[in-house]
Every structure is written in C-alpha cells, then in structure tokens.
Amino acid sequence: MRVYGVIGWKNSGKTSLMERLVAEITGRGFSVSTVKHVHHTVDLDQPGKDTFRHRQAGAREVVLASADRLAIMVEHRGPEPELPAVLARLTPVDLILVEGYKRDAHLKVEVWRAETGQPLIQSGDPLVRAVATDAALTLPVPVLDLNDTQAVADFILREVGLV
C-alpha cells in the first residue's frame, strides 16, 4: 500500500488539509484510508456500555458492528504501537494518509504556518518532500500553497505513483 504523511506542529492546519485531501483524492476515484497519531489518551467507548464492559472484563479486541460502520477497539496494554503495526491492520486501499508520526520513515508533506512560532521540520528531515504553507518561503523542496488542495493532492499522487 502507498503511504504518505501530513506532518506539522500543533495548530498548523494538518487536520484541515487531511480532510480536504481525503475529499479531493476520493473524488478522483481513489480509495483512501487515514491514520491519525495522537499524544493523549483516547477512549471512543463510554462507561456502562456493553462494549466498554467487554473491554473492562479483559477482551483483547471488541468489534462493534452495525449496518453503517464497523469499529474494532484493540486493547494493546503495552507501549504505543508503531506505525508499521498500525498499517498492517488496515484493509488494502490505493493510499493511506498519515497525520502525525512525524519522525517515522515515510514520505511526508509538512504543513507550516508562521503563526505557530515553530521551526520548519523539513530542514532536519529528508523525507519531507514538500512544505504546504500560506507563507512565502524559499526552500530546497517544493513549496505548495496550503489553500490549493488540488495542487497538494496532485503532488502527493505523483509522489506515490498514482498519476
């Protein structure tokens, strides 16, 4: 499967770009899955619900299935899973977009905005192949207009060989 990352500092616009990229790329007929890395505790379940009770009882995986959606909650009860292990669980698609995992070894586009007050990640990571920004920058990699979703999608699709 083809994997491409969208990285950047907090509040740089990663999630907004991801949302627009998924819509743009799926609108072109490609299948897309996403992975979102978070640094805080996440629980999609609710205390007292059946699936919560299954997990509390010790189930390793709990599947919640309906006519519209299938959710698999995995209690790994150990260190945070590495990206390759997460990717291995996904159903094959044309492209997996990864938000976060900025230090992992996959190709990435960095979302950068001056307002964050953070330095560019690109200068220290050769896997950052472009920077999507609303600022005027001169860099050794392509600088893409953060607000031109079609251009960012074109770049990523070329990078992974889908055009």
Write down the domain spans for the chain. Answer: 2-39+81-159
pLDDT (tens digit, 0 to 9) for every residue of the chain, 163 residues total? 899 999 999 999 999 999 999 999 999 999 999 999 886 566 677 888 888 889 888 888 898 899 998 888 888 777 888 999 999 999 999 999 999 899 999 999 999 999 999 999 999 999 999 999 999 999 999 999 999 999 999 999 999 999 8
In the sheet where 95-99 sits, what is the strand order?
32-36, 95-99, 2-7, 108-112, 128-133, 143-145
Distances (CA, A) of 34 to 45, 83, 98, 123: 20, 12, 6, 26
pTM value is 0.90
CATH fold, domain 2-39+81-159, is Rossmann fold (3.40.50)
